[in-house]
Amino acid sequence: MSKYAIHNPEYLHIHDKDGSFAYGSDQEWYPTLWQRRAGCGPTTASNIVLYFLQKQNPRTMYREDALEVMQEMWKLVTPGIMGVHLTSQFTRGVDAYLPSLPMALTAKELKIPKAKGQRPSLASVADFLAASFTADCPVAFLNLSKGSLTNLYEWHWVTIVGMEQDREGGRVLATLYDDSQIWEIDLGLWLETTSRGGGFVSYQPSLQ
């Protein structure tokens, strides 16, 4: 079995004053109803940004700290009537924030078309994730249709922080942060059964 993960998942543990913590930012923390309903894109973007900020200056991250970044990302990764339903919308917003980060990053995308015959193989998806985690970079995952999965919202962005593969060419399980929780999904089942596709985005150190 092969396992890959971001090197410091605790950097995305968002603490509360009572000593508990959430796994990543949570769109339910936004103050307005529309933000809470449509905020998965900017929330996931916040996780990506927060991880790189934490790598530069690790500290205990509290909910109010995360919400400050979430509000900033809302201005850049702003949902429309259809939410943030394209990876290009996501990268355009995050790219606008990159000059504020202490390191140079470049977006890498793996799009999953609606047409099943045009989709990359599961091996290609696994390679994309493995390369991202080896580079210590979390992955933003856009899922427009959950297919046969029962443990994933659809038309939704989540943050993938790890992956394991039974064997080469075998089942691929992705570990994700969403809704303050951590759990695994079967990426192969999603790739095979999703009716609308989606995509993966990873911000990785720029080659100088």
Overall number of domains in the chain? 1
pLDDT computed for residue 167 by the predictor: 76
CA quadruple 30, 36, 42, 47: dihedral positive or negative? positive
| Residue 207 confidence (pLDDT) above 80 | no
Q: Is residue 188 part of a domain?
A: yes
Q: Which of 180, 179, 190, 177 is nearest to 126 (CA)?
A: 190
Token duo for residue 83: 């939410």
pLDDT, tens digit, 9 for 90 and up, residues 62-99? 999 999 999 999 999 999 999 999 999 999 999 999 99
Per DSSP, which regions of the chain are E strands?
A: 2-5, 13-15, 21-23, 61-62, 105-112, 139-143, 156-165, 172-178, 181-186, 198-205
Residue 156 lies in a domain: yes
Q: What is the pLDDT at residue 170?
A: 81
1 within some domain: no
Work out the burial of residue 26: count CB atoms within 10 Å of its CB; fewer than 13 is exposed, 13-18 middle, 19 or more buried. buried
Q: Is residue 73 part of a domain?
A: yes
Question: Is residue 173 within 8 Å of residue 187, measured between CB atoms?
Answer: yes
| pLDDT given at position 208 | 55
Q: pTM of this prediction?
A: 0.96
Domain region containing 71: 8-205
For residues 206 and 126, give the distance between their C-alpha atoms in angstroms, rounded to a whole number.
Answer: 21
Instruction: Please count the residues of the chain.
Output: 208
Q: How far apart (Å, rounded) are the C-alpha atoms in residues 75 and 204?
A: 23
Question: How does pLDDT run across 15-74, given as a tens digit for each residue?
Answer: 999 999 999 999 999 999 999 999 999 999 999 999 999 999 999 999 999 999 999 999
**186 within domain boundaries:** yes
Say if 3 falls within a structural domain: no
- Strands (DSSP E) contained in 38-150 are 61-62, 105-112, 139-143
Q: What is the CATH number of the domain that holds 57?
A: 3.90.70.10
Cβ(90)–Cβ(157) below 8 Å: yes
Q: Is the pLDDT of residue 184 over 80?
A: yes
Q: Is position 147 within any domain?
A: yes
Q: Whose structure tokens read 């493995």?
A: 130
Residue 160 domain-assigned? yes
